[in-house]
């Protein structure tokens, strides 16, 4: 399995979102709006944000009506100021109304992730650290949410369990220790695949270094211990800080000298961006 095989899931996700919202039909719009009435809609930012998800608008409205035209006024990954127009849509008034909530749900969620990611990237710009996402994504949304992280200037960690090796504490426990886990990983991993392992103490770090880990995740360590870990590692492996990462703590973590900082909050706790759609007769 790879990322390309997952892409049809995006179309399925949009189809499901429309089905759960529209069901057997939009009762209110069906009763009030003339099917021949033309409309024009503006999607506007109600806060400063980083845009992501405009391409989804085409898919949402493409499934509702062939006669909707989407004119993007911004590009994914760009900073948008409060009040700016993100897109203009034209077509049947009833179709614009029916797709409004689903379209905005995607746009608000993805722009929210991109916006939080950009804030975190800006907070560590003075350091060497790169920001990574995690697998703590909304089920079914992973490709979209990881794209939003990239739009915000962050980097994707593994897409799933299939494309990178990360030995975590439960793997270590099942194998009987760090040395056994790394030896098994080395003997059976695909050629050229980097091996990352999670450690919770400086003693475990030393064990991981002794057995040749390519990348080491420092799990919930204090900044003092992370600084010491950087000194002990001395470039022999790449170091990733993980745990209790937020916009308030990320700068101090970056200043320890780690190579990467992974932050689950980017995708599991980002507030939705404030975006609105106003529709008028064309």
Catalytically active residues are 101, 136, 168, 198, 219
Q: Which two tokens stand for residue 12?
A: 């399925």
On whether the CB atoms of residues 71 and 87 are closer than 8 A, the answer is yes
Residues 211 and 197: their CA atoms lie apart, in Å, by 11
Length of the chain equals 282
Q: Which two tokens stand for residue 80?
A: 């948008």
SS3 content of the chain, % helix, strand, coil (to 5): 45, 20, 35
């Amino acid at each position: 399995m790879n990322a390309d095989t997952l892409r049809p899931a995006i179309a399925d996700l949009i189809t499901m979102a429309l089905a759960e919202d529209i069901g057997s039909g939009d009762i209110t719009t069906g009763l009030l709006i003339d099917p021949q009435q033309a409309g024009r809609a503006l999607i506007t930012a109600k806060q400063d944000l980083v845009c992501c998800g405009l391409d989804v608008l085409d898919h949402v409205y493409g499934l509702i009506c062939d006669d909707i035209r989407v004119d993007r006024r911004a590009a994914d990954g760009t900073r948008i100021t409060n009040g700016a127009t993100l897109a203009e849509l034209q077509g049947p008034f009833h179709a614009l109304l029916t797709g409004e909530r689903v379209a905005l749900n995607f746009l608000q969620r993805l722009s929210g992730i991109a916006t939080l990611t950009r804030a975190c990237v800006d907070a560590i710009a003075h350091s060497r650290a790169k920001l990574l996402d995690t697998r703590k994504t909304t089920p079914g949304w992973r490709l979209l949410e990881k794209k939003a992280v990239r739009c915000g200037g962050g980097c994707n960690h593994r897409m799933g369990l299939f494309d990178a090796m990360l030995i975590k504490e439960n793997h270590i426990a099942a194998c009987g220790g760090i040395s056994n886990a790394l030896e098994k990983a080395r003997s059976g991993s695909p050629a050229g695949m980097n091996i990352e392992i999670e450690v919770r103490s400086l003693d475990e770090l030393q064990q991981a270094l002794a057995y040749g880990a390519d990348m080491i995740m420092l799990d919930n360590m204090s900044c003092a211990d992370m600084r010491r870990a950087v000194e002990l590692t001395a470039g022999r492996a790449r170091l990733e800080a993980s745990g209790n990462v937020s916009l308030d703590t990320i700068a101090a973590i970056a200043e320890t000298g780690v190579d990467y900082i992974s932050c689950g909050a980017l995708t599991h706790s980002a507030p939705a961006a404030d975006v609105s759609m106003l529709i008028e007769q064309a």
